[in-house]
Chain A
Amino acid sequence: MTRRDVSRATAIATILAIALVLGACSGGSSGSTAPAPSAPTGGAVVVAQDLKFDRQTIAVPANQAAPLLFENRDSAPHNVTVMAADGTKVFTGETFGGPGSRTYQLPSLTAGSYKFQCDVHPDMKGTLTAG
C-alpha cells in the first residue's frame, strides 16, 4: 500500500465517520417535553417535534384573519402550509429551522375544512377547520 493509498483510506474513514455522525443527528429534535404554548387570542397553535405535528386538527374562526402560532422544536426546517380541499394553497408560512417559533397571520378563510402540512416533509399533515 502506497502513501497515496494510505491517505485515501484515511479520507474514506473520515467520510464514513462523518456519515455516521450525520445519521446520528440528522434533523434532530431539541428533546423538549414542555407542553405546547397557549394559542394566541382568536387563533391556534401547532408544534413540530420529531418530524411530527403535535396535533392532527386545529381550528380557527371563519371569515376573519387569524393568528397561528407555530413552534418548531426540531433542528430540521419546517413550516405550515394551508390548502383547500382541491389542493390549492391558501397560505404558505415561512420555513425555518428550530428551535424557534413564528406567528403566522392566516388569511380570512370561508367556513369549511382545509388541510395543513409541512412543505419540506409532506408526511407531516393535519386538518384545519375554519368555523
Chain B
Amino acid sequence: MDTFRPRTRSTTDPRFAILHAGIVGLTLTTAVIHASLGGLLFTLNAIGYATFATGLLLPGRFTAWRWLMRLGLAGFTLATIAGWLLFGARFGLAYVDKGVEVVLLLALALDVGLEDGGPAGVIAHIRDTWQMARRYASRRPR
C-alpha cells in the first residue's frame, strides 16, 4: 500500500514551534473576539477559527494535511476581512480584530514559505493529493 508522503519540512526547529504557536494563538484570539460579538454569523465565524486552530494541532497522520489547513485558514481569514470591508461595522474592536487577522495572514504566508516551500510547494501538495486520489479511485472494485 502506498503511503502519502507529505512534503512538509521538519518541525523540530524551535523557530517553527514558535511560529506555529503564534498562528494558533492569533487564530484563537480572533475566534474569541468574534465570539464576544454575539449573533449567529459571528458565532459561526468563531467556531470556524477554533476548528482551524484544532486542525493545525491534530497529531499523527493528520500532520500530512496541515498544508491544507494553512491554506483553508488563509482563505477563511481573507473571506472574513473581505466581508468586513464590504458589510462590517467600523468600531475599535473591529479594527483590532482586522489587525490580528492581517498579522495571522502574514504568519501563514511565512509558514507556507518555510514549511511548504512557497506557492510551488502548495501546487506540489495539490498535485500529490490529486494523484493519490486517482490511485485510490482506480483501486476501488467496480
Contacts and interface: CB of A to CB of B under 8 A. Distances in A.
Query: Does B associate with A?
Result: yes
A12 interface: yes
A16 B59 CA distance: 15
Contacts of B80: none
A55 B20 CA distance: 47
B59 A26 contact: no
Contact of B57 (A1, A12, A18, A76): A12
Interface in B7-45: 24, 28, 31-32, 35-39, 42-43
A19 B46 CA distance: 8
Interface string A2-32: 0011001101100110110011001110000
Nearest to A50: B38
B47 interface: yes
A23 B35 contact: yes
What size tier do the contact residues of chain A reach?
20 to 34
Nearest to B49: A19
Contacts of A27: 35-39, 42-43
Contact of B31 (A22, A28, A95): A22
A1 B58 CA distance: 13
A4 B59 contact: yes
A122 B50 CA distance: 25
A31 to B, nearest CB: 14
A75 B39 CA distance: 12
B111 to A, nearest CB: 17
Interface of A: 1, 4-5, 8-9, 11-12, 15-16, 18-19, 22-23, 26-28, 51, 74-77, 79, 95, 97, 119-123
